[in-house]
Amino acid sequence: FPYKGDSIQILFVCRDICPILKDPKALAAVTDLFEEHVRRTYPQVDLIVGLDARGFLFGPLLAQRLGVGFAPIRKKGKLPGPTLSVAYSLEYAKAEAEIQEDAVSAGQKVLIVDDLLATGGTLYAACELIKQQKAEVLGCLVVIELKYLNGSEKLQSTPVFSLIQY
Ligand code: PRP
Ligand code: ADE
């Protein structure tokens, strides 16, 4: 424990998904594993929603494999037309997320895709946006989960599937 006056350094370890993107076999393997999981667990899925920005790298690939549509949730001010928005905080900042009002229809069964789960603030906000549209969140899929930040607890009953855990 530091004494009063000691400087405290907070270590932020950035987990990088770029090596996966650089390797076509690795990217295909990630998509294969997501697809297998969804076909086994959520055959009823209607729509994949991906999170700005790195969720866009994995979500559309999965949606194409499954033959369902893809909708983006973006950071504030990026989407044209009427939007719904929600404020949230993440591991190192505060932000606001938006979705187009007509992106999801009431009653649709949705899976949310992102690269990484840290504190869960971003995925929680995404779930709120989907619920505001009276659609159902079946679960969340991420490539990396930072278990020590307990993000899945924040998501309560919404299941999270992750490929790599730290
Ligand atoms: C990162 C990451 C997740 C989010 C996870 O995105 O891609 O979306 O943080 O953090 P949380 O679980 O604590 O909410 P970021 O907002 O940094 O945006 P980027 O994808 O545009 O880099
Ligand atoms: N987003 C939030 N926390 C992160 C981390 N530790 N590494 C990469 N992206 C992140």
- Averaged over 81-101, what is the pLDDT? 91
Ligand 2 centroid vs 42 CA: distance in angstroms? 27
Q: Report CA(3)–ligand 1 centroid distance (Å).
A: 33
Determine which helix (DSSP H) or strand (DSSP E) holds 166, and give its type and residue range: none
Whole-number Å distance between alpha carbons of 145 and 147: 6
State pTM to two decimals.
0.94
Would residue 54 show up in a list of annotated catalytic residues for this protein?
A: yes
The protein residue whose alpha carbon is closest to atom 22 in ligand 1 is: 53
Longest dimension (CA), the chain: 58
Tell me whether residue 91 is one of the annotated catalytic residues: yes
Going from the N-terminus, what domains does the chain have, and what CATH number goes with each?
A: 18-165 (3.40.50.2020)
Segment 46-70 shows an average pLDDT of: 99
Q: From the CB of residue 79, how many other CB atoms can be counted at a distance below 10 Å? A: 19
ipTM, 2 dp: 0.97
pLDDT band at 93 (very low <50, low <70, confident <90, very high): confident
